[in-house]
Amino acid sequence: MRIITEPIDIYVLENMLGQYYDDMLKAVVDVKKEVIAVNADMHADLERELLDTGSRQWDLWGINIFPRAEKDEGIVFDSLINIRPNQNNRSRAVENLDVRKKILEIINKKIKWK
């Protein structure tokens, strides 16, 4: 598990592949603090790590990162932690387009894709 606070190269993420999944990393993005927790078996583990470091549940969204994919195809907005009726998000996807945009902005700031 790693919390990304500063920009890193996509190759760092590629080197994490295989510990849990062969082609993807689970990740949780804090849209307020602009940090990303990556590399755990479940999004809930990453979520717990961020909550333990002061993040708020309201700000955390689960995604999957495919480091070997093209940049525009390497992010999938899918996680059980995203099911939040109190935030009008009733599916595993991140339904709010503004939240999706913010997540992508953070990804683009923190991960230097190929």
Domain coordinates in residue numbering, the chain: 2-112
Per-residue pLDDT reduced to its tens digit, 32-43: 999 999 999 999
Statement: residue 58 has pLDDT above 90: yes
Write the CA distances from 73 to 32, 50, 51, 104, integer angstroms: 24, 25, 28, 12
Statement: residue 102 has pLDDT above 90: yes
pLDDT for 91 = 97
Per-residue pLDDT reduced to its tens digit, 63-99: 999 999 998 899 999 999 999 999 999 999 999 999 9
Helices (H), 1-114: 10-14, 43-52, 97-110
